[in-house]
Amino acid sequence: MGLIATIALITLGISFMILVTFFGRLPALRRTPIAWLHKLIWVYLPNGVYALDERLTGGRATNSCSRFANYMMYDRHPTILIFFILLLTISESLYLPTAWPLLSPTHKFLGTIAIVCPYIFLYLSVTTDPGTITPQNHVSEMARYPYDFSLYHPGSTCRTCNLLKPARSKHCSVCKKCIAKMDHHCIFINSCVGANNQHYFVLLLVTTAILTLYGGILGLDILSTKILRRWPNWALLPWNANDGQGMDVKRWLMIWAWGMQEAVSLGAVTLLALLTSPLVWGLLGYHIWLIYSGTTTNESMKWSDWQAEMDDGYAFKRRIDGGRRKKNLRIEPAWTRWPVEAEQILVRTESGRPPGRELDETGTEGGLVGEGEWEPVWRLRDVENLYDIGFWDNLVDVFWPGYMYRDPVSLEPRGRGRGRKGRRR
């Protein structure tokens, strides 16, 4: 019992800290206990320690710890990548010597695929350029997506790279470069997830999720078989033991402890796989939802900020005639591969009044495109997401980053992506 409890507590603790640390700031978790714990661990407690250290050492200790933490969390280094690789390799080296001789040929074949695939997609995620924007490829990157006049407006320049920012791009402060269709910087691959490697990252999540679940279930089956040879009346669930009559939980756990001690390495890795699998599947589910919504991690945070503006009554929109609007070719591409153009402009005002009224007072247009009256916006569902063209076409955009949705001569949609959905985030 002590062995099981120790392994379970350590595994749960590590998994929970990873969840809170890396996903506590996600908009989907913003109003949950996980977000509160993230603030407690990374904001409130450090502030309290810093205040105490200011009195004791003048802040020298916390400054040193802060520099180390910033390096670990916000600088580019392979520490977490190496940890991830070691976690996979050590777990498999502990698991396979006991499990492999007991596997059927089918499970050996499937197991080999499940083990190898995460390494392949990890390698591809790490080594593939995520979509670095340079002066040499800037023109083609500008033509990747049109500006939606909601999250991305033409004319914005990266102050570090001194280049016009293409739509959906973002400068990564860790990699020190602008990335096309920036999703997020992932410390597990020591690189950004962007337009050119997002598909490899998603496949890494898929294969890792399958590996943890498959390995956990397989290990559970092997351990159950060992236990049943000694205690035929035992069952995987205590209420199914003794031919459905049930078994005392204490005795059931003691039998489990015996099974774990008979194969400590196999049992420990099985428990690790079963406890971490929900975390990996949850992250995979989140990224599938992002693809379904036609957005990225970076954009989901931007939309969350827009929702706050809408709640305060500071957001307004009006119509854009994408077919007749004359583009400013100094700051916009003349053509993009995307099958649709922006049909609205979304802005915020400081006063909470429509932009038109503010402009009348100054006598200027302010450079805002569009036509018609400004309408207040209260919900994200009332705003179009230009980059959401249907789940299957969103998948094409992820797994075929250079797919041409329309011909550059005719400017008419071709093949996939002919329509637009009405669904919003």
CA distance 377 to 371: 16
> Side-chain half-sphere of 397: how many Cα atoms within 13 Å?
27
Residue 359: partners with Cβ closer than 8 Å, 6 or more residues away: 365, 366, 368
Supply the DSSP string of 217-277, one letter for each residue.
Answer: HHHHHHHHHHHHHH-TT--SSGGGTTTTT---HHHHHHHHHHHHHHTHHHHHHHHHHHHHH
Supply the DSSP string of 5-52, one letter for each residue.
Answer: HHHHHHHHHHHHHHHHHHHTT-GGGTTSHHHHHHHIIIIIHHHHHHHH
Which residue in this structure is represented by tokens 């998603």? 202
> Side-chain half-sphere of 425: how many Cα atoms within 13 Å?
23
Helix (H) / strand (E) element for 374: namely: strand 371-376
CA distance 190 to 122: 10
Helix (H) / strand (E) element for 347: namely: strand 344-348
Q: Catalytic: 65?
A: no
CA angle 204, 210, 216 (to 5 degrees): 130
> Which listed residue (172, 178, 186, 192) is catalytic?
186
Catalytic residue numbers, as ranges: 186
